[in-house]
Structure 1
Amino acid sequence: MSFFLKVVLKSFLLLSIFFYTHNSIAQFGIGDALKKKAEKLVKDKLMEKTEEKRESYDTLSFNYAIAFLDKTESFENQQKGEGLIKTANFLLRDDEPQTDLEAARDIYDFGRLNYNMGNQFMAETNLKLAKFKYEQISRTNEPNYLKSIGLLGLLYSDMGRYTKAEEFTEKALDGWEKLQGKESIGYLAELNNYAVLQINLGNFIEAEKIIQQLGENLNAEKENEMLPYAIYLNNEAILNQYMGRADEALGLMHECNEIAKESLTEKNSTYLQFLTNRAILEQENGDLETAEKTFQEVLDLQESRLKLNAKNDPDYAHMKSNIAALYVEKGEYDKAEKALKLALEIYEGEFGAEHLTTAGTQSDLGNLYRFLGENEKAESLLQSALYTRERKLSKTHPKVVKSQEDLALWFWANGQMESAQSYFKKVMGTSQEFIKDYFPALSEAEKTKYWEQLKPRFFRFYNFALENYQEYPELLEDFMQYRLSTKGILLSASTALRNAIFSQNDEELTALYEQWLDQKQQLANAYALSDEEIKEQSLNVDSLENATNKTEKQLSVKSEAFSTAYEGRNTDYKALLSRLQPGQVMVEIVQYPIFDKQLTTEHAYAYVILKKGASKPEIVINNKGNLLEKRYYSYYNNVINQKMKDDYSYAQYWKSLENEIGSASRIYLSPDGIYNQVNMNTLQQPNGKYLIQDHDIRYIGHPNDILFEKSAQSAAKQTAFLMGDPNFNSQSIAQLPGTRKEIEDISKYLSPSMNMQKYLSNEANESNLKQVQSPKYLHLASHGYFLEDKQANDNLFGVQLQYIRQNPLLRSGLLLTGAGAEESSGSSQSFNQSNNGFFSAYEAINLNLNNTEMVVLSACETGKGDVKAGEGVYGLQRAFIVAGAESLVMSLWKVDDTATQKLMSGFYRENVQGKAIPDAFRSAQLAMLNEYKHPYYWGAFIMFSR
């Protein structure tokens, strides 16, 4: 502040005091001496009051770090009237001798002022000086000392000096805990800043723990905590978005906006940033129209706030940069380019070329030019973005990895394959580390969303590798490594967790696991209730889901099962080659979206063929994936169900593999995509024979399954659990008398060597099924069901629509006794849904099938479900594998009751006579082929086994 301004302000303040004291004292005829004394008394009193108020602000006003999807900023939560009081206090004591403590406080205030104005050099100088001053006079227990080091932490975070930022933030946290405790607003402010720092560092799991602690301690009802609570919600939303939880992120942002609106004006820059985050999240959720409206609202408010200076302001640039991404998604490339160029011009003018915010826009504009084929314009922008990010962020930060991938794609497009390969190597290596580090602390739902976010990176690499592996053979090695480590990664995570629970003699872990199973059963029950019933019973399904996820995450962290399992999946394909015997072939099928400057909606299939004696895999590419999945599959499905001759499907699904497979006696088939829904055994060759007649085709979930070594079984007599012919008690659900004969025949074959647990008619119910304990064989004969999402109505098989759509495991299952009871009684379902007759895949996951050699689902469409690339079928197949089954027999279409009974009886007869499970199954199908020529009767069932 200039000397002249100080004099003017001080004169104005003292003149006000003088008039107040003069007017109130003169009427008593008091002389000048007394007037001066009175003025001094008033001034002293004012100084005392301003000092007292100023000290209260020291423990209420803080700078809060705020995370945005492309940058980090901070907001100073000043108290009402704080600026005026501090100015008055400063002026009133201007001619008084200043103590060391007052000097330190003034230096801090000057540093804070410079920080808020963006003067980083002056801010650092004054904050370091304030820190030194407080330490010199041994007043490190002062709030402003802790605020000095905390603000230094924020400053260093802004500058990308994260090691220093972490050091100072941790020191401030420790100081506030000692001074005022963990529930103080000072401690919580620093905790917020520490969480954002961890987000910037890419330490999402640590950030989540911290943010959870913030949520437990902040109170939106308290006036001083309302805005900090909104900031906490924003930061949690951004973290959720980074971790792939887009739905949760958007919900949190809406809540943040509502709270912030009460504390900030609509034109406040922080409020506008919150709105911007909401627009981005709306875009991420696919609601482009709503996102554009929100973006436009932000731009309008921004322009009215800044008027003539709007187009030179970084906040305006931020809005333009973000709406450009929306323009790109809508295909409005000219608008996107114009917006990005304007944003870049503003950022470079305000922050310089080597700033993280500038780098973000350089990256966006560079990628736009790459997509448009303007490679010369793209290179320098992408290189600059990577240079800045590598210098300012950690090596494994997601933004660094993204920049590396951007350049890999640019080099590929520009024909510089060695450079592209080098960058892809870094990107894929770091991505695998992400999976190993982050997956253990996520629930299955969170793992699914995180993998959906990360998976496109692997698909882009698959395109690059499969296009160039012949010229660069090492790409084939990398392709196989990444495929083997990530195929079925979500299924692997679930089975690894369950196996760890059963293999570890840990009482605490087992108790937690049982708690989780109980919570999941409660959820399954709640999903079957109507909204009215949920309200009547005061249930909170969201809270129950959150509690279940929390327990699952605790289990994952404690067991450390996934990391171990994931590392074990990094199998060199040469180990698979060495396990194959003469005459054996492995076919790994890879479904992936085709890359054309970006991933498209067109699919391709790569058939990776491993043969005994070969030094490397053979690759066959089929670019007609969309036809395989739609037109060709529709034809196959129709001719099967209409029992017609199929002269067409073999050419579409198998002919391209013919030369590579040759006369192999056994084919291990690891399917993907539509190959999970077509039974290769049923394809008729041009010579009239079906593939099953020339090849022993064995379906496996993952190539590594051929390495599986079966554990030794107990010498004690083992159990067969058989269930069939349920009493549906329904006019619309047909009884299945053939399943009773099926169960009786199987029992006759197995009873001499095994204990029988047999449940028929009324005993074929959910309660009995859920009591199963690791049988050798589990055989379930009934109706099965699978419902496409589009088939969903308000209540399907006792499960509410909103839950059916969000969880595919609720859309498939088996009908057991009582499935039609509510139809005849007309009564509504009770909360005890554990025996309602609808046994879903969601419930099947909880069965105890540890060491169960085989599960047979002798029902219609038990192999159906939601097919996900690289993950198989989300339905009963997945559920029973997670529950522990080593082999699984299931159907792909509605089956004939009599033919199924004969097939199953023949299967068990062959098994009892000494044939291994897969051999017995194939023999039974070949026998059925002789009796029933059309595959509709014998080909519905496939076996997945290890």
Structure 2
Amino acid sequence: MQEPMVEQAMSQVSKQEELAEAERLNQQAEQLYQQGKYNEAIPLAEQALAIRKKIFVNNHLDVATSLNYLALLYKLQGRYAEAIPLAEQALAIRKKVLGDNHLDVAASLNNLAELYKLQARYAEAEPLYQQSLAITKQQLGDNDLYVATGLNNLALLYKLQARYTEAESLYQKSLDIRTQQFGDNHFYVATSLNNLAELYKLQGRYAEAENLYQQSLAITKQQFGDNDFYVASSLNNLAGLYQYQGRYAEAEHFYQQSLDIRKQQLGDNHPDVASSLNNLATLYVSQARYAEAEPLYQQSLAITKQQFGDNHPKVAATLNNLALLYFSQGRYAEAEPLFQQSLAIRKQQLGDNHPSVATGLNNLAGFYKLQERYAEAEPRFQQSLEIRKQQLGDNHPDVASSLNNLADLYQDQGRYAEAEHFYQQSLDIRKQQFGDNHPNVAESRNNLADLYKLQARYAEAEPLYQQALDINKQQLGDNHPKVAITLNNLARLSESQGNTSRAIELLSQGLRIEEYNLSENLVAGDERQKQDYMRKISGTTDWAISLNLQSAPNNLEATRLALKAIFERKGRILDVLTNSLQILRQRIDDPQSQELLTELIATRTQHANLIFKKPEDFPSPDVYRKLLTEVENKAKQLSDQLSRRSAEFRNLSQPITLEAIQKQIPADAALVELVRYESLGKPHYAAYIIYPNGEIKAKDLGEAEAIDKAVEKLRKRLRVSHPRTIKTLKAAGRDLDEMVMQPVRQLLGETKTILLSPDATLNLIPFEALVDENNQYLVENYQITYLTSGRDLLRQNPNNNRQSPLVIANPNYQQQGEVVALDAYRSIDLSQRVFMPLKGTQQEAETISSIFSQALTLMGNKATKNALKQVKNPDFLHIATHGFFETSLKNQNYVDNPLLRSGLVFAGVEKQQSGEDNGILTAYEGTLLNLLGTQLVVLSACDTGIGDISAGEGIYGLRRAFVIAGSESQLISLWKVEDTATKDLMVAYYQGLKAGKGRREALSQIQRDWLEGKNGKKYQHPYYWASFIFSGDSTPMEF
């Protein structure tokens, strides 16, 4: 009798141990679940389920619990097909054991409904949610917390089906119950407020949504403190609303706060962190800040894959977003496979007929459409439409979107009747779902109006545009970008109708809104981000010029409007960066600003030094690129912080006016703005001339292609110094003059002093070397000062306690032993790592020092990069050394900043010693030199005036760097000139300055003297006298 009892007891102990192990596994899985580590949690939950199935009969409640928990984990991983049978088994067990009306049965019904909802099986989900809610009400009464949850879940289902009225009623009931049970300030109340706000946002009820989001955020902060992950969710939701409204600065602020909290509370690899990174990236894409968006999408994708595996729907969503980014950048070969991968994952995980699959098909079709691959786009748009109709019903907003997209396709193909039919259907659905005043309704009206305008059905188009404008103003505010877009569309319609005055008035309003948003967006971000935003609005600058020159050449208001747009946008980024640094330099009483500035200087130096190191010096190319990326991102963050910091101190500046610029033009001068713009699908150049009395003249100069070719031809001729080349050189100079300056001269009349603001490739040539119709070089009759933009005339040049002049020359590139003195050109190829000594620079420096005895002169081993970086506000700065512009670095995909490809070399460069002084000062580092108040920077080196061309922003090279650093004026070179000739020009230039000549006048006098042969026949060639150009303040220097 004893033996069986012992065996039974031992068996019981074994079962208890196994059940304890199952419980331990569940607890461990729960911990991993809380950390977002679903991949790791699943095998533990599977083991726990297996143990319980082994110990218990299939109908045990613990088995149901394990089934339910494992279904939850599968759901989180997007494994819906595997989750559903588990949830169904759990429901069956609970019904059998507990009966049909138990609360656990209600929970199982709710869980199964949730899975059906995720699979878009809405018809099956709804009765389950309703049954769950009925049981909960029966067991707990109508006002219980669980009833509120059931109402909330059913409301969410209705929201997905666009059954907004039913959803709002249920959300409101859920909120009322929670408020009644817990009071106004409970977390559950905050959740209900948030859900109702989401619904209002969808309906375009933005003011109501914002109020509820803010209430939800306030409650969450009160209950959990400022840094809780629930607070992060509230911040994220509010940011989403602001993004939709075009309030980008506020959206970014809240997205960033949410991300920071989630990282702090959940760790860097949590799914919620991935979601925040994705949201912030999407915001950046909407602002065309593509360089910032890409690494965030990549990080989000890596986390999502790590947590969910490669085939989760969330992975598909991030791949889709990354594809859209690449597409926006024109990186089509990279975008297409990502669109396809995203679609394949959705089909695999969700089935062929899921709404998410429809979204994937729609995006891929949109990609094909914009590439004019219409035969591939149309069937995908149609498949997407059919899925949405089947799953969501004929009147769902997503169906309206599909109809709209198909209409866009048909419009592009000229199939106007079909396009109109689908646009009208889309509009009808949106009006039915959202009412007449939703932004989506405005979009439909705008699109239909575009179609009518194309067909010259102007009378039908106009009221639609006007209605779209009224809706956008009402819902999004007067300064939203969509308001500007609609105004611009109305302006184009007016132009088509021949109503030029109304077109000008409407375009003026649109440009004013764009200027408002431009000012807001340029406050933050680094230079690359600012460039991205400027490119986004360049189309309206082009159109303002085109409207003036092509449609209204004799309309003064059109001319003034175009010129105002040029002044507001051309060289704008340079101005912003210069002003920001000036403000921060002057805030010496603000330790935080000075610390940020110091850290940015160190980080940029580290970044530049890395560029000129060899990848083979690192363990692997991947390590090198990773380090480069980290340093570059840190520099961007610091630049962004400094931009924002300077904005805090900036007084409200007066808007740029033509009158303000006109007042700064000397009485004997004229300002000539040359601008490249798009006209009728082709780039053109134009000239705008403004006189001191306010008179403005404008002229189209013709297609850019011919002018750019003439520029390149002249540049090639100028680089050859042989006397026999004079004839062909003058012919090239005449060709370019005939296209550009002869038309300008016809407008200038007797004016001989020109303040010239070139654009695009015209920045690369000395206009003094152009040849007029009398076979004379322009330098013989004109004095030319170069500007980035006419706005340069408004720049304040504070006398910031200037120090003694600094002359740096003849660096010892080896910093060891003796070097052989040889004549050389002051330009080098960095890839050779050999730097010829420059004998002439020592004589040059000694002569300058004899003219200006107070000058500090650094030569030989003392002529270092670090010595230059330590100097503050020298009266003038003269640097005589080798210059470079390295086009080869552009081919390395990790060097995308043009300011890293141009620079100057200093002592010790050949040794490439460690530390921050590698002997190379890039333009990127030069931007942070302290030259505020420095009257003149002379770069007595070759190639200091060239760099990457950016239409509307000038040349990205050394001149730009020294302007940003604060200098008033610059003397720079456009090509390689031998050492001795450069020395002779520099000595003569400083003698002229000492004699009291203006900074531009001193150079012009040398150029004319050399042309006349006063310094020998050799120097008569433009190769010698035209190589240096002057830009900036041309008045005499103060000594």
Band the TM-score falls in, shorter-chain normalisation: 0.7 to 0.9
Q: How does 1:392-471 map to 2 (within 5 A)?
A: 392-471=475-554
Counterpart residue number, 1:170: 214
Quick one: which amino acid aligns to residue 757 of structure 2?
A: S
Structure 1 Cα separation of the partners of residues 873 and 477 of structure 2: 48
Question: Alpha-carbon deviation of 1:495?
Answer: 0.8
1:802 maps to a residue whose letter is N
- The equivalent of 2:647 in structure 1 is 560
What is the identity, as a one-letter code, of the residue corresponding to 2:684?
A
Answer yes or no: is the 8 Å Cα contact 2:542–2:677 preserved in 1: yes
Matched, 1:590 2:634: no
Contact kept, 8 Å, 2:813 with 2:835, in 1: the verdict is no
Query: Contact 1:812–1:840 (CA<8 Å) still a contact in 2?
Result: yes
- Pair 1:707–1:449, CA change in 2 (3 A): closer
CA distance in 1: counterparts of 2:618 and 2:761, whole angstroms: 38
Match of 2:790 in 1: 703
2:701–2:740 contact (8 Å) kept in structure 1: no
Q: In 2, distance between residues paired with 1:182 and 1:612? A: 57
How many pairs align? 866
Q: Which residue of 1 aligns with 2:685?
A: 605
Give the gaps of 5 or more residues in structure 2.
1-56, 62-93, 379-405, 411-418, 820-831, 1034-1039
Distance in 2, Cα, partners of 1:302 & 1:357: 26
Deviation string for 1:168-209 (max 9, x for gaps)?
A: 111112222333445555433322211111101212122112
Letter in 2 for 1:738: G
Post-superposition shift, 1:158? 0.5
- Paired with 2:231 and 2:665, the residues of 1 have a C-alpha distance of 61
Task: Describe the shift of the 1:571–1:254 C-alpha distance in structure 2 as closer, same or farther (beyond 3 A).
Answer: closer
Amino acid at match of 1:743: A
Of the three residues 706, 727, 735, the one matched with 2:837 is: 735
Summarize deviations over 1:665-717 as a string: whole Å, max 9, x none.
32221222222111111223343432112122222333244455654576x98
Change (3 A) 1:552 1:223: closer
Paired residue for 1:150?
Answer: 194
The CA deviation at 1:478 is 1.9
Quick check: 2:523–2:647 contact (8 Å CA) kept in 1?
yes
Give the alignment of 1:520-919 within 5 angstroms.
520-531=604-615, 533=617, 540-560=627-647, 564=651, 567-568=653-654, 570-594=655-679, 596=680, 600=681, 602-613=682-693, 615-642=694-721, 643-645=725-727, 646-647=730-731, 648=734, 649-707=736-794, 711-712=798-799, 718-724=804-810, 726-727=812-813, 732-751=834-853, 754=854, 756-788=855-887, 791-792=888-889, 801-804=892-895, 806-821=896-911, 831-832=914-915, 834-919=916-1001
Q: For residues 134-175 of structure 1, what are the alpha-carbon distances to aligned partners after superposition, in whole Å with 9 as ceiling and x for unaligned?
A: 334454455543322111110111111111101111111222
Which among 473, 481, 499 is matched to residue 582 of structure 2? 499
| Structure 1 gaps, min length 5 | 1-17, 23-38, 63-73, 795-800, 822-828
Deviations 1:307-328 (A, max 9, x none): 9978xx7973785377346423
Contact 1:243 1:450 in 2 (8 A): yes
Structure-2 change in CA distance of 1:870 and 1:386 (3 Å)? same
**Structure ranking higher on relative contact order (CA contacts 8 Å, 6+ apart):** 1
CA drift at 1:860: 1.0
- Distance apart, 1:855 and its partner CA: 0.9
8 Å Cα contact 2:312-2:345 kept in structure 1: no
Instruction: Report the CA distance shift for 1:771/1:223 in structure 2 as closer, same or farther (over 3 A).
Output: closer
Structure 2 residue 567 is matched with structure 1 residue 480: no
Match of 1:68 in 2: none
- 1:249 equivalent in alignment to 2:334: no
C-alpha distance in 1, partners of 2:127/2:309? Answer: 20
Q: Check whether the contact 1:592–1:603 (CA below 8 A) recurs between aligned residues.
A: yes
Query: What is the SS of the residue equivalent to 1:641?
Result: coil
Given the superposition, is the C-alpha separation of residues 665 and 107 from structure 1 closer, same or farther in structure 2, using an over 3 Å criterion? closer
SS at match of 2:848: helix
CA distance in structure 1 between the aligned counterparts of 2:99 and 2:600, rounded to whole angstroms: 65
**Residue 316 of structure 1, aligned match among 358, 361, 364:** 358
Secondary structure of the residue aligned to 1:802 is coil
CA distance in 2, matches of 1:413, 1:89: 61
**How far did 1:296 drift?**
5.3
Asked whether the equivalents of residues 727 and 764 of structure 1 are also in contact (C-alpha less than 8 Å), the reply is no
Give, in whole Å, the separation in 2 of the partners of 1:317 and 1:492.
43
1:66-465 matched pairs, under 5 angstroms: 90=133, 95-96=138-139, 98=141, 100-102=143-145, 103-140=147-184, 143-182=187-226, 184-218=228-262, 227-257=271-301, 274-295=318-339, 316=358, 319-320=361-362, 323-324=365-366, 326-330=368-372, 332=374, 339=409, 341=419, 344=423, 347-348=426-427, 351-352=430-431, 354=436, 356-357=439-440, 360=443, 363=446, 367=450, 385-386=468-469, 388-465=471-548
Bigger shift: residues 332-341 or 728-737 = 332-341
Moved more, 492-501 or 257-266: 257-266
Give deviations 1:40-69, integer Å, cap 9, x for gaps: 9974999576799999x9xxx99xxxxxxx
1:603–1:625 CA contact under 8 A, matched in 2: yes
Please give the secondary structure, in 2, of the residue aligned with 1:819. coil
Question: In structure 1, what residue type is equivalent to 2:564?
Answer: Q
Alpha-carbon contact 1:866-1:873 (below 8 Å) kept: yes
Describe the shift of the 1:174–1:703 C-alpha distance in structure 2 as closer, same or farther (beyond 3 A).
Answer: same
* TM-fit CA distance, 1:502: 2.3
Whether contact under 8 Å (2:800, 2:932) holds in the other structure is no
Following TM superposition, by how much is the alpha carbon of 1:937 offset from its aligned partner in structure 2, in angstroms?
A: 1.0
8 A Cα contact 2:487 2:510, kept in partner: yes
**2: CA distance between counterparts of 1:230 and 1:203?**
23
Q: Kindly provide the CA deviation profile for residues 302-345 of structure 1, in whole angstroms up to 9, marking residues without a partner as x.
A: 789999978xx797378537734642343759957574659757
Q: CA deviation at 1:487?
A: 2.1
**What is the rounded CA distance, in whole Å, between the counterparts of 2:443 and 2:365 in structure 1?**
14
Q: What is the root-mean-square deviation of aligned Cα atoms in Å?
A: 4.3
Residue aligned with 1:529, SS: coil
Residue 581 to residue 87, structure 1, CA distance change in 2 (3 Å): closer
Distance in 2, Cα, partners of 1:763 & 1:272: 58
Deviations 1:381-430 (A, max 9, x none): 75665455445433333333323323333333343434433331221111
Q: Which 10-residue stretch deviates more, 220-229 or 479-488?
A: 220-229
Match in the other structure for 1:27: none
Of the three residues 917, 922, 945, the one matched with 2:1004 is 922
SS in 2 for 1:591: strand
Give, in angstroms, the shift of residue 359 of structure 1.
5.0
Residue of structure 2 equivalent to 1:5: none
Query: Does the 8 Å CA contact 1:50/1:85 hold for their aligned counterparts?
Result: no
Partner of 1:13: none
Judge which range, 333-342 or 413-422, deviates more: 333-342
> 1:925–1:617: structure 2 CA closer, same or farther, 3 Å change rule?
same
Instruction: Report the Cα offset of residue 300 of structure 1.
Output: 7.0
How far apart, CA to CA, are the structure 2 residues paired with 1:654 and 1:446? 34
Residues 314, 414 of structure 1: CA spacing in aligned structure 2 closer, same or farther, 3 A cutoff?
farther
State the AA in 2 paired with 1:161.
Answer: R
Identity %: 25
Question: In the aligned structure 2, how far is the partner of 1:21 from the partner of 1:674?
Answer: 80
Pairing of 1:37-56 with structure 2 (within 5 A)? 43=98, 47=102
Q: CA deviation at 1:863?
A: 0.4
SS in 2 for 1:630: helix
1:10-25 equivalences under 5 Å are none
Structure 1 residue 526: deviation in Å?
2.9
C-alpha separation in 1, matches of 2:357 and 2:322: 15
